[in-house]
Structure 1
């Protein structure tokens, strides 16, 4: 098999900050799908790698859903809706995109989708029934047969909005039923009759907007779970109403009944409120049943319900075995940090893992203990920026990447190398800076020191603490003694960093500061009850990538210097190859502010303050010019293919998100046109979906621990863009 010229090695991203942008495929080894910017990402939680990207939307992906198969096997189709007013049906084969069908008709952003397989009596062929809700106050129903898609019906909610939708089938029939959770605090139930959905009943009870609805079949009964901003979960039971006469003195709940016709037989159904679950203290954003599965050829539906709330918790509910009363079984969530709760939640195929999607895009994964089912432990999961990534840099040794973004964070990604596994996966292992301004630029001063610039007038310098170095070496397989010797000659390395109660900068924490911290009992006795409770830094020795809670509170780098001099927001910063000079510039509306400041990286004093003037001959300006109606080039980066060959590879990032690779040979004569060769460009699934902000080749001379064969045959290119994504590509030098 011929090796590809370019392949995606690692991807760092997180879900969009919307409800419904997360779905876990049922069936063994199911993939986790989530929306990142304009893409749908398929992630394998077992292998901890991104399998592929589904690029087709032109605006943010708001919602998606795997289509469950009747036989319980892993799903191969999913639907997604976006702010581009369209729904896309994706068909997957061997974890790669096979076909994408665009469903157009909505006049507003789509924010809820669901789909089921339906066997229609007319042709006895399986169809896909799709429902979508949008901001145009409509719910559209589509039917897909092969590659042909037809809009069956449009349900108009006039001035209201359907915020959640879910399809199922009435008990003992093939008649679809649709539940729509509305902003009028009611659940609208529709049943298909003669290919048209008719409203049959309204379920009242919630006192605020309904955020989630989901059906589950238990024998001959159909249960509907609904959640709302009133902090409550309601469970409704739908069943076939018995025609036999019953005793009038029995105390029974009020029934809501309706009649449908199925195969020339009229059946009466009743809906009652089964129970109300109260346990959350804030909006409940999502409810999901554990997926059904086949056991001994019989479809089993576990009676377990998962809910996610803005109170930072996720609760697993189940009925008591003796009384049948629904009780809270497990409660997990976030502790500390500047977080605002969960948007969504999901079960894996057998209910042994649960995942939550937090307000700031982070994923939280928990796994059930095999020996103690009531114990759940955090697991490692993908992470990344939740807004545009503006800049990135490889460290001089090529062992990790630092990125900055408009989500006001600086993140550090490094490989996790394990002795028992040959495959190396990359993870976020530190969040050195959590800022109050959008971060714009970055420059590496040394291996463990960097400068960042944001939408403020100040440049900030950060240095790595001892605890980070220890954890970095343990996770990536580096020699701790060697790294510490290079890092600090005087032994005065701080242990970590923390933000003071009334401060805005990361303050260094030394060993003596940790020892002097009072115990919990002392704090309780001396506290007045009105003091701000500062979360102190606590050193932790890790052997695997940290969880989100640890990243938020325990991985800051101390700020060692502030550089003042610019009059407006910092725009760019760069360091020379010898790491002795730092250059920075800011936004400017007047000539006197259009300056480049040079800084000495040892004393941090200004060396030169020069006003930028255009070169009359343009001889000092390197530009890339495009002729004709083509997409603009935003970033260019060059790497050598070998001193002997005098060949170079040029990576060009485009505004549309594509990356093009060219090779160029240096000659003694004037370069000719045939010295440039276009080698390859990224495919649709490999490309970014929005403008590329930075490309950076890994230093070929870095002291990496990879095999000589890999170092000799592959180059590594890192990219970041406005689509919230950071990618690492492997480029085959032999194929260029």
Structure 2
């Protein structure tokens, strides 16, 4: 059986060091995504997004850096993680997205938080929250056939602090310079002598923790002065000049800048003296950059022709590009991207991005990308003919475990819910011959972790969270129109509100109508009590979208209005299932007693609970599914039993059959097969069982063994060339696909998706895309590693 990866969506880790853009020619951007490293080519015109994930780390990836390989066609990634390890990855020359893990070292005693490399050298440095910085030598042949690491030196930071920023540069032919800063307000400068770094200076002036350091030369000449940028939680960036020679450089005019006002007192031009084997150096304060209103996370240099530019990202939701004014020499912010900070402090539901954690230049310098709190990337490209930065389509993804997924009834789009408290809608953008998957709507931004979701109709879904109730959402006209124009998805129901928003201090998405662009928004009679909340106003032009929406649209304008709440459960909702005719919703919650482990049924016409509730399980119900004809409801639970509920002539469900020992461990998944009275169960006892039942009993027809506990199972709802097709997922992230013939069910062929393509952690749910016109099979996979994946399956 053949498998290909169709789509991967995963959000980035919120660590300023957890991403890097390769300048060696591959064009790849690598970023930490939970325990994995995601590879994305932002310059890909077909917008395929994340192409592969490198799995190996066992905890969150904090630092990712491309090692400078020069003109080689091989890329090397160095990664550091909370699992205390440093790992080296090498690319396959035939496929730039295919990397293999070639070296793992665990010399640090705690999480590795920072990595700094040095161009044209085999030296790199790592910083860890064990309070040390380690210097490494990468040993390799010219073609990188073999790679090894040698630990050159361990620097114990004194007084002990956590390094949050490292920078390396070549000082002269005999020495390198290392800058270290972190959870204190000073920068320590180390200079190498005889391959060993020694503390040479301590730079003071910042008033908060220092988050970013980067060296560059003042101009394109390697003989020019080094400039060090340091960015801090005190909202300021300081520039320091490292000058060769006994004489001090000319005093910076920045010190006399009247804009600095009272800050002038804290600006000292004290010279720090350094000495190497061949020369003497001085470090002096060069400039103070003002403009950010909150913590600054990253700072990175770029030489654009003769102009030196600095890119910074901040918690104030902005990205700034700084350059020195040619006449006065004062550093000014020439470009500001992102959002106005008026939204600061508000939630993502009212439009705040929550700050930018990472900012990177493209290798050519004509594109910048940034990562925000929601795990989504934003991308701007400089349009030279318009002399401005234009936002482009980038990638999004969940930042916590993906708990539930479901396809629309007609298979046109995919919904996912996650512990990151969002529900997201993914669909295919169709343009000419090119197809690419994108997030097109964020229907729900919630205050609780979301656990499950199911479609009721093509334009309505229900989701359950840790808040003991379920919420029903209807598609707004703005989203329906966008999906129709960009994805070719027809909608039958146009009696819809235009959009939705969350009112201030509210918890529920309220329907709102869009207004014309020139309509007034203030209360007409001047009464302040009647003033309109600007967040509740949406202009029609806002919903006129010609491409997959950017993150600011997703976070603010593409919510779905909530139409109903379903009450009744006493604990967190664990699972939800909708009947195939859309008339019933079955739900269950976490439970440790028979009274709470009940299944409640709701009628989708009036949204009333159908009494009595279904009582049989004694512990949490982990999965439910209605049979294809809705005659039966299958439920499975942590109490190791499965139960079949049958519908009588009046439409009432009652207990028909149960097996209190269906598996020897808890049952975590169940699914109906498109055969008469046939279903599958998946258990922690590392097995999938295929059952067939009569009115009196059920028999196991086949047992499929797995290498680890099976956490999810799903069966394709139509026979494929007369054969049964099903998929299961395990706690280790393995995905297995099974094929069997109805006439000989016990003979099951099982294929597994390769380890490189599989999720790195527990699989929570699998969903086959409803077949349309006999197209190829597609399987959606939701996992604890934060990824949502779609595979093409070729039986």
- Counterpart contact for 2:310–2:321, Cα < 8 Å: yes
Distance 1:379 1:283 in 2: 26
Choose from 370, 389, 399 the match for 1:386: 399
Query: Which secondary structure does the structure 2 equivalent of 1:487 belong to?
Result: coil
Q: 1:317–1:526: structure 2 CA closer, same or farther, 3 Å change rule?
A: farther
Cα deviation, residue 454, structure 1: 0.4
Residues 304, 598 of structure 1: CA spacing in aligned structure 2 closer, same or farther, 3 A cutoff? same
Instruction: Give the corresponding residue for 1:365.
Output: 379
Match for residue 431 of structure 2 among 391, 401, 418? 418
1:464 maps to 475
> In 1, distance between residues paired with 2:249 and 2:385?
49
Give a deviation string over 1:50-106, Cα, whole Å, max 9, x none. 2321111110011111223556x8871221111101111222233111443112111
After superposition, the CA RMSD in angstroms is 2.8
Task: Determine the structure 1 residue equivalent to 2:716.
Answer: 639
Cα distance change, pair 617–588 in 1 and its aligned pair in 2 (3 A): closer
- Matches of residues 424-439 of structure 1 in structure 2 within 5 Å? 424-439=435-450
Deviations 1:149-208 (A, max 9, x none): 1111111115312111111111x4252211111322111111222221111111111111
Structure 2 residue corresponding to 1:259, chosen from 247, 257, 275: 275
Separation in structure 2 between the aligned mates of residue 477 and residue 629 of structure 1, nearest angstrom: 40
Alpha-carbon distance in 2 for matches of 1:114, 1:224: 14
Residues in 2 aligned to 1:523 and 1:33: alpha-carbon distance in whole angstroms:
52
Structure 2 equivalent of residue 122 of structure 1: none
Query: Does residue 556 of structure 1 match 2:559?
Result: yes
Aligned to 2:332: 327
Closer, same or farther in 2 for the Cα pair 1:616/1:9, shift >3 Å?
A: closer
Question: Which residue does 1:543 correspond to in 2?
Answer: 546
Please point out which of 546, 553, 574 is paired with 1:571.
574
d(CA) in 2 for partners of 1:229, 1:244: 30
Unmatched 5+ stretches in structure 1 = 120-127, 294-299, 704-710
Aligned to 1:124: none
Q: Could you tell me which residue of structure 2 aligns to residue 123 of structure 1?
A: none
Secondary structure of the corresponding residue to residue 168 of structure 2:
strand
CA contact (8 A) 2:523 2:531 kept: no
User: For 2:328 and 2:547, how far apart are their aligned partners in 1?
Assistant: 43
Q: Does 1:477 align with 2:549?
A: no
Over 3 Å counting, the alpha-carbon distance change for 1:333 and 1:523 in structure 2 is: farther
Q: Which residue of 1 aligns with 2:627?
A: none
Question: 1 CA distance for matches of 2:787 and 2:269?
Answer: 52
Q: 2:236 matched to which residue of 1?
A: 232
For residue 348 of structure 2, what is the aligned residue in structure 1?
A: none
Match of 2:460 among 449, 452, 468: 449
In the TM superposition, what is the alpha-carbon distance from 1:321 to its structure 2 partner?
2.4
**Aligned residue for 2:751?**
679
On the 8 A contact 1:397/1:447 being kept in 2, the answer is yes
1:283 pairs with 2:295: yes
User: 1:356-404 deviations in whole A, cap 9, x for unaligned?
Assistant: 111222222112122132x212111010111111001111222210000
Counterpart of 1:593 in 2: which secondary structure? coil
Check 1:150–1:555 CA distance in 2 against 1; reply closer, same or farther (3 A cut): same
Say if 2:620 is the partner of 1:626. Answer: no
Residues 231 and 666 (structure 1), Cα distance of their counterparts in 2 relative to 1, 3 Å cut: same
Measured in 2, the distance between the counterparts of 1:649 and 1:245 equals: 74
Moved more, 408-417 or 138-147: 138-147
Tell which deviates more after alignment, 217-226 or 722-731: 217-226
Question: If the length of structure 2 is used for normalisation, what is the TM-score?
Answer: 0.81
Checking the alignment, whether the CA contact within 8 Å between 1:441 and 1:572 is kept in structure 2 is yes
In 1, Cα distance between the equivalents of 2:530 and 2:292? 25
User: Residues 623-667 of structure 1: CA distance to partner in whole angstroms, max 9, x if unpaired?
Assistant: 444379942111111226745x42122211111112122222211
- Contact kept? 2:5, 2:791, Cα under 8 Å: yes
The 3-state SS of whatever aligns with 2:554 is helix
Deviation at 1:681, TM superposition (A): 2.6
Equivalences for residues 191-206 of structure 1 within 5 A: 191-206=191-206
Alignment of 1:64-463 (within 5 A): 64-70=64-70, 76-93=75-92, 94-95=95-96, 96-119=98-121, 128-146=122-140, 147-158=147-158, 159-170=160-171, 172-173=172-173, 175-217=175-217, 218=219, 219=221, 220=223, 221-242=225-246, 253-261=269-277, 266-290=278-302, 302-335=307-340, 336=343, 337-373=351-387, 375-419=388-432, 422-463=433-474
CA distance in 2, matches of 1:86, 1:211: 22
- Establish whether residue 664 from structure 1 lines up as the match of residue 740 from structure 2: yes
Alignment CA distance shift 1:516-1:595 (3 Å): farther
Instruction: Establish whether residue 31 from structure 1 lines up as the match of residue 37 from structure 2.
Output: no
* SS in structure 2 of the partner of residue 505 of structure 1: coil
After TM superposition, give the deviation of residue 502 of structure 1 in Å: 4.2
Q: Is the 8 A contact 2:404 2:764 kept in 1?
A: yes
Note closer, same or farther for the CA distance 1:623–1:534 as it changes in structure 2 (3 Å cut).
Answer: closer
Unaligned 5+ segments in structure 2 are: 141-146, 257-267, 344-350, 618-640, 642-657, 663-678, 688-704
C-alpha deviation, 1:301, in angstroms: 7.4
Instruction: Determine whether 1:519 maps to 2:525.
Output: no
| Separation (CA, whole Å) in 2 of partners of 1:327 and 1:448 | 50
| Larger CA deviation: 465-474 vs 605-614 | 605-614
SS class of match (1:534): helix
Question: SS at the partner of 1:417?
Answer: strand
Partners of 1:369 and 1:621 lie apart in 2 by 56
* Residue number in structure 2 paired with 1:706: none
Match of 1:487 in 2: 493
Aligned residues: 678
**What SS does structure 2 have at the residue aligned with 1:381?**
coil
Q: Supply the distance in 2 between the matched residues of 1:64 and 1:408 (Cα, whole angstroms).
A: 27
Which secondary structure does the structure 1 equivalent of 2:595 belong to?
Answer: helix
Alignment of 1:583-662 (within 5 A): 583-608=586-611, 609-613=613-617, 615=658, 618=661, 622-624=681-683, 625-626=685-686, 630-639=707-716, 642=719, 645-662=721-738
SS at match of 1:473: helix
In 2, are the aligned partners of 1:715 and 1:731 still within 8 Å (CA)? yes
3-state SS, counterpart of residue 556 of structure 2: helix
